[in-house]
Every structure is written in C-alpha cells, then in structure tokens.
Structure 1
Amino acid sequence: MTEDELEQAVRETFARRVAVAHPLAADPAGLAIRRADRARRRRTVAGLALAAVTAVGISTGIAQLGQQPGRPTHPTVVLGDPYASPLPNLTPTLPVAPPTDPAQGAGRGEVDLILGTVLATTSGQRLTLPDVGPAERAQRLPDGAGWAVVGAPTAAGQALWVVQPHGAVHLLLAGARDIALSRDGRQVAWREGGELVAAGIVGIQVVAAARTPVPAGAVPVGFAGDAVLVRLDADRPGHTLWRPAQGPLKSGGDRATVRVYGTRPDGVVVAQVSAGTPRRLCLALLDPTRDLAPAQTGCGPTLGDDGRGGVSADGRWLLANGRVGGEDRALLVDLDRLGATRAVRPAGPPVHGPVAWTPEGTAYYSDARAGLVRVDVSRVLAGEESSGAPVSGLGDGQRPIPVGRAGS
C-alpha cells in the first residue's frame, strides 16, 4: 500500500466513525496523519514501516470500538501523543495583557480568562486557540502544565483539550458526553453510551481508563477525592459515588441531593438537597464516607434552582445564585457556619457560567450582560456588593470564562 493510499484509508475510517450533523472543530484523521508524517521525517526506512503499521492499528482499533455492543453510534475518540507539536495556524504567545477595569478590579492578574478563542493569562500572554472552538469551562493544570479546556456541548458531544504554556494545543477527548474534571485536574470522567468512564490525565494523555455500566440518565458531575460523583437521573434527586477500584457503580442510598456545587478539599460534597417541611431547597455538606449522608444542613438562604455556583479553594465559602428580598442575586455563604443568621450575604449580580476562585479567596464569574464580576470576600462581609466590569474582545453572545487554578 502506498503512503497516499494509507492516508486515504485512515481519513475514510475516521469519517465513517465520527461524522456528525455538526462537525467537530478537531480533525482526528488529519491529526493522526500529520503525526505519522512527522514520525516518518524523524525515522529511518525501518521507522517508516513501523509508522505505517501503527497508523493502520489506530484505524482498526477505532473501527472495532464503534462495532462493540453497547457503544454509541459516534464513539468517543481518545487521543494523546507525547510527541505532538502545535497545530497548524496556532498563534504564538504574544506579550499583550488581558483587558482590565481598575475601577472594578477585574483582570488584576488573579485569574486567566478565555475570551472567545483567546486565552488571556495572568502573566499578560494571549494565546489564540483557533482549533478549540467554543469553550464551556477551563481550569489550570497542576505543576504549571497548562490548562484543561472543556468544549461546549454539541450534537457530537464534548471535547477535552490541553493547552500547554508554550501554546501547543492537544485534543484528549472528542465526542464524549458530560465531561467532569477533578479539583486538581488529574482525573477526568465522562459518559460514553451505556457506560461511565474514568481516567487519569498525565501530561497530554488520558491514561488508565476504567468503565462501569450506568442507568440511562446517569452522568458524572465531579469528583470527591478519587471517587466519581454521579447524578443518577436529571429529572429526580439522587447522587452516588463510583469508586473504580472497588468495581461497578452501585446506586447508593441518596435520594435527596438535587444539585452539586463542588467539593471541599477533604472530599465533603457541597450540594443542594430537598429537605424540610414543606420540602424546599437547602444547603448540605455530604459525607463521602457514608454514602453522601448529610453531615450538616442549612435551610436559611433561598437558593436558585439553576445550581450555578462554586466552592472556594479552601472550602470555606460558597458563591451561588439565590434570592434576597425578592431579587435574584449571587450569595456568599459561609460553609463553616451553616444555619447561622449572618452566614449568607448578597455578593453581586446573578452568576452566569462557571465560578473561578483564587487561592487567596477571591471569586470571578460573568454576569447576564457579559461583564466580569470580582467578589472580594472581605468587602462582602463589610456590606459591599460587586458589579460587573465590561470586558473587550468578545463577540456577540460571548461571555468571559474565568479559569480556576488546580485545586480550586
């Protein structure tokens, strides 16, 4: 088989397996071929033959993945190449600072921002990400390894990318559903057909994947330590924990948890639960060692039913949507004082999108007008509320996406 025939065979195989109504921003076939081309340039004639065999093996493996019983029509593609280089047309790092508004304190170098297809970093870099596509959320990876970027849901599923500090972009997952990342950025879980998959992230590769069958409506929503936090059904309360090292998923006894905001550093889950008489949404701290049994519950704040919010890096604070005096607001909740009279304070306009906390205890999020809101805990405790600061460089319908650091 000639090299041209081999390339055409690889492209046709990928096209049959991952073609969808709305094409992915990534081109897995082209990516695989470009990597094979680079390998051929680096190796001798013997290396050429080995690269050809490897390319055929990758194509055959993905074809078999799509043919296995219980797999989705459009299988998840797991990619990772320790020799990958920046994708074509990637704009290199530029020494341009992210937009700022000194009056509001936005963009003071505390968090990175995704502005459309640009990643503006705290060090003043602007990395253009033409192949990543619309992002839903992102977080920094540990040890300065870069950023993990989760794509917005599409008919083809979601994608997971790693952006390295020097600007190289690597596609780790394509066609996955409901991607969840751990606080430290070292673990990832996703839904694939009738299974839940959990794996580690090492460098620019997804490794050591484990699988378990799950009910039709079950999706991963986060991690509590090494356990995957799973919502059993989108239409009914109830969550459980899957510990891959202990075997398949078990339903568990929790039938009260409605939504999850996140976890504290010790693995305790911060969630909305249905409690009280009459039933209402309350805040609860769930113990992962006792099948998510509530360790503490507070029904003081009026919580929003969208579940938007985030837990601070130290686990002390929750910023979440709710209502105060009949008005929708973002609320700052002291999780160490659930149930106390002054444990909840209005902090700013309602949250739209992800909340990113800094290790120093400052929160960032976007509001309904695509402004960037900076919430300083000390000022909120002093009675001040934050407002959104305008951010330049955004297209119509886009919002700034603040990027949390590993562990936040």
Structure 2
Amino acid sequence: MMSRRAAVTRAVAADPAGAAIRQANRIQRRRTMAGVGLAVLAIVAVSAGSLQLRDNRPPTGGTVVIGDPDQRPLVDRTIPPPGPDTAPPLAEVDLLIDGSIATAQGRRVALLGTGEVERAHRLTDGRGWLAVGAPTLAGRFLWAVAADGTAQVLLAGADEIVLDADGRQVAWKQGTVLAAAGIVNGELATTVRAEVPAEAVPLRFVNGAVLVRLAPDRPGHVLWPLRPGPLVQGADRASTHIFGALPDGRLVGEITPGTGPTACLILLDPARDLGTGQPDCGPESAGDGRGAVSPDGRWLLVNGRSAGEDSALLVDLTRLDTSTGVRPAGPPMTGTVVWSTPDTAYYADAAGGLVRVAVDRVTEGRPAVPTALPGLPAGELPVVVSGG
C-alpha cells in the first residue's frame, strides 16, 4: 500500500524552492547584463580619452618631414580651448605671453597643441594669426591659428620660416631647398623652389624678394627674386645685418669695418649686386642685428650707444650721413621690434617691459620708457606680434 501511494504522482499546490531558484536566475541575468554594459562604457571612455591626449601633444621628435603644400595639412588641432578671458588690454598691439596671445582688445587666447611659439603675425582680416614655432628635433612648424585658438599646421619640418609684412607669403628652407608660397584661405599655393647652400638662412621679405644670409657666421647677403633654379649668390661679402629697405629700393644694413667702431650703418644697392653706396660708414650701431626700418622707409630703430650708454637709437634715414639724424629712443631692445604704424614702434627691453617708441616724442628729445606688464611671469619676455 505504501509503495503504491508513493508511486502515484500528485500536483503540488506550491513550490517555494523552485520559485526561489527562478528568481535567483533572473537576478543573476540582470547583474550580468549590467556588468557588460558598464564594461562597454568604460572601454569607450578610455579610448576617447587616449585619443584626446594624443591629439593634445605638441609635435616633437620623430621623423616629421616638410609639408607638401599640394597635400592636406599634416595635423589639425580642432579641440576648442576654453572661452578667452576678457581683461583690460596690456598694450595697443597683440603680445605673445606664456603660451597665449594677449590681444589689443583685452582677450587672452590660449595656443593649444602648438608647442612653443617663437613669433606670430596677426592677419589683416582679423580672423586669427600665423604662428611660427620654435625649433624642435622635428624642425619648425607654421600654424594657422583661428580667433578662438584652434590651430592647423600649414608647414612642418622646416629649418627656418619667414613671413611677409602682410601675412600673404611664406618662405622656408629645409636642407638645401629654399621655397616660397602664397597663403590663400589658410592653404599654401603656387610654390617656387630654389637650390641654396646648406648654411644659407632666409631672413625676411624685402620688396617682394626674400633676403637670404649666405651663412649665419659670415657676412654676406643676397636677394632671392622667387625664381626656380640654383640661387645666384651675388658679390656681397661685407654686410653683417640688414634691417629693411628705403623707398627707392636700397637696403639699410650694417658692416663691421676692420678698424674703428664695432659696427656702422650703410646702404646697399640691389642694382649693384648689393654693393655699398654712400655713406661708406654711417652712424655707429651695436652690431647685434636688432632693429627694423619703418614701413615708409623713413626711420630706423636700431641698438647702439648714446652719451656713452647702450640705447635704442632712432635714425632719420633721410640724413643717414649726418650725426644730427640720430637720437636716443629708449632702453636697448631685446628680441624683435615691430612698427605698428610708420611713426610708432614697439619692442621689449631686457627686464620684460614693453617700450612704445613714438617718433614725434623722440625727435623732441623725450626717449621712450618701458611699461611693466601686469601678471608677466618671472623671467618671461613678451614678444610683440606683427601685422594687424
């Protein structure tokens, strides 16, 4: 009887154990799906962060070569920087300070992803700047920087890069190749190349040509008229520095004579293969190569000595052969000097002060004095931005 009753199958009204097992299985499946989802999100976040970090690194080292103007830029920096802070302007011109551009309107534009920038040129349309990077193992870079600080590489791997006064042409050298191109809508166009000595260095644009120093440690310059083929080196082996041009095309430079002053100002005639004209040796200069001719070719600001002390000098180029054409203009210059107008120039002194030279004040016997820049980091020298 007992065996027959045990063999009979009866429906169970309730199964607590089975219900617990089924609930545990459901909980386990939910936890598994949640864990998989979190793992996927973590992988996506880490991958995005890695890409952003790689994109923010400055271009250093490696085997970066010169950019081909006919190809797309090598690198794009499209990560927008934080919104620029607005503050009282530091000067009437833009300044490079501590990895950012302090504009004349009081904005601070951070230069992200460009590495160290050595000099910059403000575009005339107000849409940004052209920035030339400092030398690296990969060479120099030319960046097109938008008004919000985003940057795009126009040129990479050059030994030296120079821009014209309008920011519409660029010349560069790599190895024994000297090249020049126009800058149109943020791209390089119409490239011309020439063969030059390996030690030659392009310095600046002068009247549509590129001024080239034949060797950095020896006197001698030549004008490259943007023609392809080997560079004709000319006959000038005397000039040590050239500061700009007069309206008639003659160049204002300096030489170091065998006797007498350390260096003196001269005029070089391109029509005579940069032969020296009058005066044979004009006012004395410091010989350090710092200086620039005003846009109208009337004035030269150059380092020299006045009353036995080092000073920046304002030279009236219409009276270069007379001592009355030279006046003390302010403390000695460091870095470059930028003429913002034909009668106003800016430069930095050795203490980091900004010096504004007004021609009318200097000619009245009132040399310029430096202005301290608020918030300038210790040991930092401002760099005046050209153009604009």
TM-score bin, normalised by smaller chain: 0.7 to 0.9
Offset of residue 187 of structure 1: 1.4
Q: In structure 2, what residue type is equivalent to 1:200?
A: G
Matches within 5 A, 1:212-361: 212-245=194-227, 247-264=229-246, 267-275=249-257, 281-297=263-279, 299-361=281-343
1:154 counterpart SS class: coil
Name the structure 1 match of 2:67: 77
In structure 1, runs of 5+ residues without a counterpart are 1-14, 16-22, 30-72, 100-106
Offset of residue 24 of structure 1: 7.7
What CA RMSD, in Å, does the superposition of the two structures yield over aligned residues?
2.9
Offset of residue 390 of structure 1: 1.3
Match of 2:87 among 79, 96, 104: 96
CA distance in 1 between counterparts of 2:384 and 2:226 reads 31
Matches within 5 A, 1:127-138: 127-138=109-120
Structure 1 residues 187 and 264, CA gap change in structure 2 (3 angstroms): farther
Name the structure 2 match of 1:386: 368
Offset of residue 264 of structure 1: 4.5
Is the CA contact (8 Å cut-off) linking 2:61 and 2:136 kept in structure 1?
A: no
Structure 1 residues 279 and 365, CA gap change in structure 2 (3 angstroms): closer
Q: In structure 2, what residue type is equivalent to 1:97?
A: P
Question: Which structure is larger by alpha-carbon Rg, 1 or 2?
Answer: 2
Match of 2:59 among 20, 23, 26: 26
1:365 counterpart SS class: strand
Q: For residues 230-267 of structure 1, what are the alpha-carbon distances to aligned partners after superposition, in whole Å with 9 as ceiling and x for unaligned?
A: 10012211111112336431111111111122334665
CA distance in 2 between counterparts of 1:27 and 1:87 reads 19
Higher relative contact order (CA closer than 8 Å, sequence separation 6+): 1
| Runs of 4 or more above 6 Å deviation | none
Q: In structure 2, what residue type is equivalent to 1:361?
A: D
User: Aligned residues: percent identity?
Assistant: 47
Q: In structure 2, what residue type is equivalent to 1:385?
A: P
TM-score (normalised: structure 1) = 0.73
1:386 counterpart SS class: coil
Q: For residues 127-163 of structure 1, what are the alpha-carbon distances to aligned partners after superposition, in whole Å with 9 as ceiling and x for unaligned?
A: 1112233222222223334322222223332221222
Q: For residues 272-305 of structure 1, what are the alpha-carbon distances to aligned partners after superposition, in whole Å with 9 as ceiling and x for unaligned?
A: 1245865852212323343223344363432112
Q: For residues 9-36 of structure 1, what are the alpha-carbon distances to aligned partners after superposition, in whole Å with 9 as ceiling and x for unaligned?
A: xxxxxx9xxxxxxx9823899xxxxxxx
Offset of residue 89 of structure 1: 4.5
Is the CA contact (8 Å cut-off) linking 2:194 and 2:228 kept in structure 1?
A: no
Matches within 5 A, 1:8-19: none
Structure 1 residues 92 and 219, CA gap change in structure 2 (3 angstroms): same
CA distance in 2 between counterparts of 1:297 and 1:156 reads 44
2:323 counterpart SS class: coil
CA distance in 1 between counterparts of 2:97 and 2:317 reads 31
Q: In structure 2, what residue type is equivalent to 1:76?
A: I
Offset of residue 184 of structure 1: 2.0
Q: For residues 106-144 of structure 1, what are the alpha-carbon distances to aligned partners after superposition, in whole Å with 9 as ceiling and x for unaligned?
A: x1x3x1111112212222222111223322222222333
In structure 2, runs of 5+ residues without a counterpart are 1-53
1:378 counterpart SS class: helix
Q: In structure 1, what residue type is equivalent to 2:83?
A: P
Q: In structure 1, what residue type is equivalent to 2:335?
A: G
Offset of residue 330 of structure 1: 0.8
Offset of residue 207 of structure 1: 1.9
Structure 1 residues 158 and 85, CA gap change in structure 2 (3 angstroms): closer
Is the CA contact (8 Å cut-off) linking 1:218 and 1:233 kept in structure 2?
A: yes
Q: More deviation in 261-270 or 357-366?
A: 261-270
Match of 2:132 among 135, 139, 150: 150
Offset of residue 313 of structure 1: 1.9
2:158 counterpart SS class: strand
Matches within 5 A, 1:55-74: 74=64
Structure 1 residues 85 and 91, CA gap change in structure 2 (3 angstroms): farther
CA distance in 2 between counterparts of 1:81 and 1:363 reads 37
2:240 counterpart SS class: strand
TM-score (normalised: structure 2) = 0.77
Q: In structure 1, what residue type is equivalent to 2:82?
A: T
Q: In structure 2, what residue type is equivalent to 1:225?
A: N
